[in-house]
Amino acid sequence: MITTSAISTIREHVKTWRSKGETVAFVPTMGNLHQGHITLVNEAKKRADHVVVSIFVNPMQFSANEDLEGYPRTLAQDSEKLMLAGTELLFTPTPEIIYPKGLAQQTYIEVPEIGDELCGASRPGHFRGVATIVAKLFNIVQPDIALFGRKDFQQLMIIKTMVEDLSMPIDVIGVETIREQSGLAMSSRNGYLTIEEKHSAATLKQALDSIVNAIQRGEATQQAITTAKKLLITAGFTPDYLEVRNANTLRQVTAADSELVVIGAAYLGKARLIDNVSFSRHSS
């Protein structure tokens, strides 16, 4: 595996592959890798001739009250995992390489509407940072396909929208959430949980499932959400939001919508956990 922080080195390798008519898959990450990330790499290997992974803790997507400096950085362990998984090229730029003029002078990208809701409402400016860094990485790597976990469902929708709106020739693929035995979605932020909190954390998935089951039984959506919030509070969570949205657009649900997603975020101790469950609502 070749590891580089140089944009020119990434472009040289991709240009060589392209000259042979070979395809490139890309997995952008912020490091502190877990099995969910490795699953993305494994899926990338099935779909393209070459796999590029980036590790970059993106300062643009952290707000002033979020702990950028405290975000876990585990490059040595991450590199070993990626090498074992068969990654060929690892891009590890610094903020100075990505944002040479500083954040205040950096051109940015915003995806309207869906970027301002849900996690976007709780973390203003977060998805501006996500869209900007992903667009920049796409321009550096120029992949045929890019893979993202469906755990970050809103992020996935925002990136798909950006790619479509800006006519980027990249196929964005969402890969199913990898879960721990308890049902808890794997996340780098799970490292913030205490042992006791880890035992309670799977309640978020249980709460989302309870909403799905209630709606499929014909119960009113708001009643199902209210019950699920009580379940979370009892387990020690502070709910941020629980909502049911159109699974294809993330817009508010209409009576005609059948493909839905229940999406939620909640605080447990120092961690802010997110999760989602897609499901079909059969019209009566």
Say if residues 90 and 129 touch (Cβ distance below 8 Å): no
As a whole number of angstroms, the distance between CA 271 and CA 240 comes to: 12
Among candidate residues 37, 50, 126, 199, the one labeled active-site is: 37
State yes or no: is 37 an active-site residue. Answer: yes
Q: What is the DSSP string of the chain?
A: -EEE--HHHHHHHHHHHHHTT--EEEEEE-S---HHHHHHHHHHHHH-SEEEEEE---GGG--TTS-TTTS---HHHHHHHHHHHT--EEE---HHHH-TT-GGG------TTTTTSTHHHHSTTHHHHHHHHHHHHHHHH--SEEEEETTSHHHHHHHHHHHHHTT---EEEEEPPPB-TTSPBP-GGGGGS-HHHHHHHTHHHHHHHHHHHHHHTT--HHHHHHHHHHHHHHTT-EEEEEEEEETTT-PBP-TT--EEEEEEEEEETTEEEEEEEEEE----
Q: What's phi and psi for 254, nearest 5 deg?
A: -110, 170
Q: Which residue bears the tokens 């954040």?
A: 103
Residues known to be catalytic: 37
